[in-house]
Chain A
Amino acid sequence: MEYKATREAYGKALCELGKKDSSVVVLDADLSGSTKSKEFKKLFPDRFFNMGIAESNMVGVSAGLALSGLKPYASSFAVFITGRAFEIVRQSVCYQNLHVVLCGSHSGVSVGEDGGSHQAVSDIALMRSLPNMKVIVPSDYNETYMAVLATFDMEGPVYIRTSRAKSPIITNKDKFEFGRADVLKEGKDITVVACGMMVSISLEAAQLLRNSGIDAEVINASSIKPLDEETLVSSVRKTGRVVTVEEHSIIGGLGGAVCELLSKENPVPVERIGLNDVFGESGSKEDLFCKYGFTKEAVAERVKKFLNG
């Protein structure tokens, strides 16, 4: 299986968009090598603006560019672009429903050694709470590439969450649809809904569960807002139980979104796997995944316990 980081796809897709349309402009806040927006700079230096270590101003400037008819893509680490700049994202981007695409790279604990200060664990919750904002957490390189391309024709603001670490390529679709979840593995005993890097982990966990006689349905909910209500509800009607898996706090992210939906449409027990209202810390990605329960074994174990509990 091929492994690639989702942030690599962001850079590649930006170049594609830059070739397609001269109104695409790209901004970064001194992290263009890490977010991969630097790839765009290499091809289109006149349409790339480094705004320095000033994320708030970068987002406000993006709003001004969008007001002038350009299509800005602004990136930084997820923790800064959604946290430091939150108020400007709210006031200048979302309040005006401007077509600004924000990319937060280095999300979750898979950032690794940089530690808790740099690991975004609340960014999905923050962005999801803002009116007009759409939130996409692609599961792999291919899906990220397609999602970034798809933002071009969207209206209003979009937040795309990418990761630093490499992860297996598990999708091969030729088009990304906002508001659509994909059933990657059908099953009848439980619905496992995941986003980002946790989709591949959940697929592997489903294999382990199969050995224990549990037939899990695995859904890639990369479009967290809008959420694919139909696919999720129809799966839950079949299985009757849900586990959500995300590299994010269990408060306000994918788990929160799924609970909000099901509490209205089809209330069933839900187990949320994620960071249990804690920050991350330094360590290798592998060690952190072990500690915080993001391995296939840990996810499979939680599902089993939940089903038997």
Chain B
Amino acid sequence: MEDFRQLEHIAREIRKDILLMLNRARSGHSGGSLSVVDILVALYFGGILTYDPKNPDWEDRDRVVLSKGHACPAWYAVLSRAGFFERELLWTLRKLGSPLQGHPDARKLPGVDASTGSLGNGITQAVGIALAARVLKKRYKVFCIMGDGELQEGVVWEAFMSAAHYNLSNLIVIIDYNGLQIDGKVMDVMGIAPLKDKLEAFGFRTFEIGGHVYKNLIDTLITAKRNVISPTAIIARTVKGYGVSFMANRAEYHGVPPSDEELKKALEELGNGV
């Protein structure tokens, strides 16, 4: 796909859905949902993932684990648009009885391959799912999307170590590297640099790309899918709150939804036209 305008259009629509969902839920994580959108759009609409929304448990499907589970509004909007469930369901986010839990629940929502939310838990499960492919002789890939702050959890490095030890070339870790976490800049709270060196030292074939540039995302994901030697890590440089000027690069919007006024302003920025 050489023309990425269609993907960019979808991403704008997803961002609008996210803001509407969070505004109606009156809680949730704006910043990290907006930063991860293009990664998800590239996976689901850029021809990378093998999936069938009518058969979400299809055993040959590629798996997606959102290890940074708090960004699930973005995933929910993408899953809905990909046909896993009705769009109307989006407006039930975080409400009692909704399958759209505050953090992803695999037992409640089709398309969610593992329950996540407690940081570091997603990657350990992703390693297990990737390892299972070996036992079951399956060819599916496992895409695990992580936050950069999440990498501070020690179990993440246990999981990385085991992925390399078992040569899980079907595991592709994508790091939504927006540089911010709740308490401020990642480098100030607990630095993770030099990240590329660390990942390579842990046995990952590692790429560093712009996380809002579709050509970069698609090309790198295709390369990662073809890798048969080692697990892959993609450090996708993103901007927290991307797409909404007053949220961009601001840690304050990590766990805060847009107010009615902010929503109006944000939707105008993203373009109210369909």
Asked whether B173 is an interface residue with its Cβ less than 8 Å from the other chain, the reply is no
Given the interface pairs A60-B127, A63-B114, A88-B155, the reply to whether A68 lies near B136 with Cβ below 8 Å is: yes
A185 CB to nearest chain B CB (Å):
43
Q: Which residues of the other chain, A, contact B133 by a CB distance below 8 angstroms?
A: 68
Asked whether A52 is an interface residue with its Cβ less than 8 Å from the other chain, the reply is yes
Task: Tell me the bound Cα distance from A195 to B107 in angstroms.
Answer: 34
Asked whether B255 is an interface residue with its Cβ less than 8 Å from the other chain, the reply is no
Given the interface pairs A61-B127, A61-B128, A65-B128, the reply to whether A92 lies near B121 with Cβ below 8 Å is: yes
Closest B residue to A64 using CB positions? B128
Q: How many A-B residue pairs have CB under 8 A?
A: 101
The 8 A CB mask of A59-101 against B (1 = contact, 0 = none) is 1111111111110100000000000000110011001110000
Q: Which residues of the other chain, A, contact B59 by a CB distance below 8 angstroms?
A: 69
Asked whether A170 is an interface residue with its Cβ less than 8 Å from the other chain, the reply is no
Contact B124 A67 (CB under 8 A): no
Closest B residue to A59 using CB positions? B124
> Size range of the interface on B?
20 to 34
Closest A residue to B119 using CB positions? A91
Contact A60 B128 (CB under 8 A): yes
Asked whether A54 is an interface residue with its Cβ less than 8 Å from the other chain, the reply is yes
Q: Which residues of the other chain, B, contact A69 by a CB distance below 8 angstroms?
A: 59, 132, 136
Main SS at interface, chain B: helix
A76 CB to nearest chain B CB (Å):
13
Contact B106 A57 (CB under 8 A): no
Closest B residue to A66 using CB positions? B128
Which of B30-38, B158-166, B184-192 has 4 or more CB atoms under 8 Å from chain A? B158-166
Closest B residue to A85 using CB positions? B155
Task: Tell me the bound Cα distance from A68 to B171 in angstroms.
Answer: 14
Q: Which residues of the other chain, B, contact A66 by a CB distance below 8 angstroms?
A: 128
Contact B162 A91 (CB under 8 A): no
Contact B162 A67 (CB under 8 A): no
Given the interface pairs A52-B162, A54-B158, A64-B127, the reply to whether A88 lies near B121 with Cβ below 8 Å is: yes
Which of A12-20, A43-51, A104-112, A176-184 has 4 or more CB atoms under 8 Å from chain B? A43-51
Asked whether A167 is an interface residue with its Cβ less than 8 Å from the other chain, the reply is no
B152 CB to nearest chain A CB (Å):
14
Contact B117 A91 (CB under 8 A): yes
Asked whether A25 is an interface residue with its Cβ less than 8 Å from the other chain, the reply is yes
Asked whether B14 is an interface residue with its Cβ less than 8 Å from the other chain, the reply is no
B127 CB to nearest chain A CB (Å):
5
Instruction: Identify A56's interface contact among B113, B117, B155, CB under 8 A.
Output: B155
A300 CB to nearest chain B CB (Å):
46
Given the interface pairs A25-B135, A61-B162, the reply to whether A68 lies near B115 with Cβ below 8 Å is: no
Contact B121 A68 (CB under 8 A): no
Q: Which residues of the other chain, A, contact B158 by a CB distance below 8 angstroms?
A: 52, 54, 56-57
Given the interface pairs A56-B124, A63-B124, A65-B131, the reply to whether A95 lies near B162 with Cβ below 8 Å is: no
Asked whether B267 is an interface residue with its Cβ less than 8 Å from the other chain, the reply is no
Contact B125 A92 (CB under 8 A): yes
Q: Which residues of the other chain, A, contact B135 by a CB distance below 8 angstroms?
A: 25, 46-47, 65, 70
Contact A51 B115 (CB under 8 A): no
Task: Tell me the bound Cα distance from A219 to B135 in angstroms.
Answer: 42
- 15 A-B residue pairings within 8 Å (CB atoms): A47-B135, A51-B162, A52-B158, A52-B162, A54-B158, A56-B154, A61-B127, A62-B128, A64-B114, A64-B124, A64-B126, A64-B127, A67-B114, A67-B129, A87-B118
Known contacts A67-B106, A67-B129, A68-B129; can you find 7 more A-B pairs with CB under 8 A?
Answer: A62-B128, A65-B131, A70-B132, A87-B121, A92-B114, A92-B121, A96-B115
Q: List 8 A-B pairs, minimum CB-CB distance, nearest first.
A: A64-B128, A60-B124, A68-B132, A57-B158, A61-B128, A64-B125, A54-B158, A64-B129
